[in-house]
């Protein structure tokens, strides 16, 4: 049965990611099938097996922060301040200097690992220069909740503030949880999203040890290839995305532009393995089914799915099976599916927010972005993955899937405003 409490809409978007420094440039690149993957420049790759990633080129935190403030923040928090500044401006909202209104807006931010740059910097300082020289701001720079905490300080968000840390499902959880806050009438507006900045030698080495990353170093732009038979692992990405969620009546009363409505949220646990999905995708399918039930929709109502689609052999096979289970074989055979990770890489804790944003834009413009590098079909991945070229189509209802290490499964459903 569909929910009958307050309706939640998306009224603002913001992002910095490997495809662009703002929403429209990122969306144009995604529609065009541009890859953001290239050789790693953040550190010396001579000791790592994987030497490629999807970095953000030329990011300057001083575009959004004073120098003294930027120095106090890890890269992942800087990313989130940038994306949130864009999103609030896009929504036409500013709570600085308005303490009364500020109590009606909160923030929930997803992060997988948090301030990894600051963590490594602190360890290096400890080992090379001694305990007394460790930066006193190290803890506040590295803890995963600081993106939410600092955003609330920077933008005067005095309502509920929280951090979801569910690996690669974290920012999808943040969006779903924020929508629930509004549905229940706790606040009128929520800042929701995620951020990650973990392109450091330690993280790449650790993921290499777990055999999770692509090693297609000679062809970086072709390395992330979800659902393709030649896939060999995911490509690490970095960045942030922010969605402004708002009570629909509140948005209409102030004349806000509405991109889409958040209509469904489902989550489950595989209860199976710390990294591998449960074979057959029963847990993932359960999250999708819960989201459909929450939205009051059938599987056949879904026009587009932004898949988790990591480009790892196990995930892509399992997600394909899960989509068939959740939507039914007939609906699954016709739904348009794409993995934008083929272009952005995998933003880990920030992935769900970026992919939710792209799903909303797909609804707005009536275009399914492509899955690039899809050259050789995998017999176990036999659905319509919008190969290599964007597809103009009416999208009334879009699903965005996010699955994380530990068995965390999240599905979000967005609908066109008129739907």
Q: What is the pLDDT of residue 163?
A: 98
Asked if residue 261 is part of any domain, the answer here is no
Percent helix, strand, coil in the chain (nearest 5)? 40, 20, 40
Asked if residue 326 is part of any domain, the answer here is yes
Are 139 and 215 in the same domain? Answer: yes
Which phi and psi angles does 290 have, rounded to 5°? Answer: -65, -40
pLDDT tens readout for residues 386-395: 999 999 999 9
Are 157 and 245 in the same domain? Answer: yes
Are 148 and 110 in the same domain? Answer: yes
Report which of 92, 171, 56 is spatially closest to residue 408, judged by C-alpha positions.
171
pLDDT tens readout for residues 325-343: 999 999 999 999 999 999 9
Domain boundary among 200, 232, 253: 253
Residue 308 is a catalytic residue = yes
102/72 Cα distance (integer angstroms): 24
Are 25 and 156 in the same domain? Answer: yes
Strands 336-338, 304-306: parallel, antiparallel or unpaired by DSSP? parallel
Query: Exactly one of 163, 250, 273, 346 is catalytic; which is it?
Result: 346
Residue 300 burial class via C-beta count within 10 angstroms: exposed 0-12, middle 13-18, buried 19 and up: middle
Residue 38 DSSP SS3 = strand
Residue 397 is a catalytic residue = no
Q: What is the pLDDT of residue 2?
A: 42
pLDDT tens readout for residues 365-402: 999 999 999 999 999 999 999 999 999 999 999 999 99
Residue 408 is a catalytic residue = no
Are 41 and 163 in the same domain? Answer: yes
Look up the CATH number of the domain holding residue 233. Answer: 3.40.47.10
pLDDT bucket at 1, cuts 50 / 70 / 90: very low
Query: Hey, what are 143's tokens?
Result: 């803890």
Q: What is the pLDDT of residue 358?
A: 98
Q: What is the pLDDT of residue 369?
A: 98
Q: What is the pLDDT of residue 336?
A: 98
Are 164 and 141 in the same domain? Answer: yes
pLDDT tens readout for residues 58-78: 999 999 999 999 999 999 999
pLDDT tens readout for residues 218-269: 999 999 999 999 999 999 999 999 999 999 999 999 999 999 999 999 999 9
Are 239 and 279 in the same domain? Answer: no
Q: Is the pTM of this model over 0.85?
A: yes
pLDDT tens readout for residues 19-60: 999 999 999 999 999 999 999 999 999 999 999 999 999 999
Domain boundary among 224, 253, 282: 253
Are 162 and 284 in the same domain? Answer: no
Are 182 and 294 in the same domain? Answer: no
Domain boundary among 203, 232, 253: 253
Query: Exactly one of 308, 381, 397, 408 is catalytic; which is it?
Result: 308
The total number of structural domains in the chain stands at 2
Residue 4 predicted with pLDDT over 70: no
Query: Exactly one of 168, 381, 397, 408 is catalytic; which is it?
Result: 168
Q: What is the pLDDT of residue 396?
A: 98
pLDDT tens readout for residues 122-167: 999 999 999 999 999 999 999 999 999 999 999 999 999 999 999 9
pLDDT tens readout for residues 105-118: 999 999 999 999 99
**Strand segments (E) across 29-121:** 38-39, 52-53, 105-110
Are 149 and 123 in the same domain? Answer: yes
Give the CA distances from residue 137 to residues 34, 64, 127, 275, 288, in Å, rounded to whole numbers and listed in that order: 38, 20, 17, 32, 41
Asked if residue 259 is part of any domain, the answer here is no
Q: What is the pLDDT of residue 326?
A: 98
pLDDT bucket at 419, cuts 50 / 70 / 90: confident
Are 163 and 285 in the same domain? Answer: no
Q: What is the pLDDT of residue 3?
A: 45
Partnered with residue 237 across adjacent β-strands are 54
């Amino acid at each position: 049965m569909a929910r009958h409490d307050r309706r939640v809409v998306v009224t603002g978007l913001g992002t910095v990611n490997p495809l662009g420094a703002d929403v429209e440039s990122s969306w144009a690149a995604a529609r065009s099938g541009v890859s953001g993957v290239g050789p790693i420049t953040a550190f010396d790759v001579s000791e790592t097996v994987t030497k490629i990633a999807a970095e953000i080129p030329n990011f300057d935190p001083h575009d959004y922060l004073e120098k003294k403030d930027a120095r106090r923040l890890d890269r992942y928090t800087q990313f989130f301040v940038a994306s949130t500044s864009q999103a609030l401006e896009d929504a036409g909202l500013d709570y600085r200097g308005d303490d009364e209104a500020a109590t009606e807006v909160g923030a929930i931010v997803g992060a997988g690992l948090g301030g990894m740059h600051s963590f490594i910097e602190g360890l290096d300082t400890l080992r090379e220069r001694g305990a007394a020289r460790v930066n006193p701001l190290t803890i506040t720079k590295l803890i995963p909740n600081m993106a939410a905490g600092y955003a609330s300080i920077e933008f005067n968000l005095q309502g509920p503030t929280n951090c979801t840390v569910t690996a690669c499902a974290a920012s999808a959880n943040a969006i779903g949880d924020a929508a629930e806050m509004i549905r229940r009438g706790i606040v009128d507006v929520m800042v929701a999203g995620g951020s990650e900045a973990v392109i450091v030698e330690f993280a790449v080495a650790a993921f290499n040890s777990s055999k999770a990353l692509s090693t297609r170093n000679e062809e970086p732009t072709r390395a992330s290839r979800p659902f393709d038979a030649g896939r060999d692992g995911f490509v690490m990405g970095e960045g942030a995305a922010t969605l402004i969620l708002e009570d629909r009546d509140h948005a209409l009363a102030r004349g806000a532009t509405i991109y889409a409505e958040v209509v469904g949220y489902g989550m489950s646990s595989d209860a199976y393995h710390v990294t591998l999905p449960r074979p057959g995708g029963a847990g993932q399918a359960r999250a999708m089914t819960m989201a459909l039930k929450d939205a009051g929709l059938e599987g056949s109502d879904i026009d587009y799915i932004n898949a988790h689609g990591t480009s790892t052999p196990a995930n892509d096979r399992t997600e394909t099976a899960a989509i068939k289970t959740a939507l039914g074989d007939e609906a699954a055979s016709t739904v348009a599916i794409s993995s934008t990770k083929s272009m952005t890489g995998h933003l880990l804790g920030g992935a769900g927010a970026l992919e939710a944003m792209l799903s909303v834009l797909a609804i707005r413009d009536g275009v399914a972005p492509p899955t690039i590098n899809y050259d050789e079909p995998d017999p176990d991945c036999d659905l319509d993955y919008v190969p290599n070229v964007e597809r103009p189509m009416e999208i009334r209802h879009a699903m965005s899937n996010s699955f994380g290490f530990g068995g965390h499964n999240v599905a979000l459903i967005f609908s066109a405003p008129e739907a």
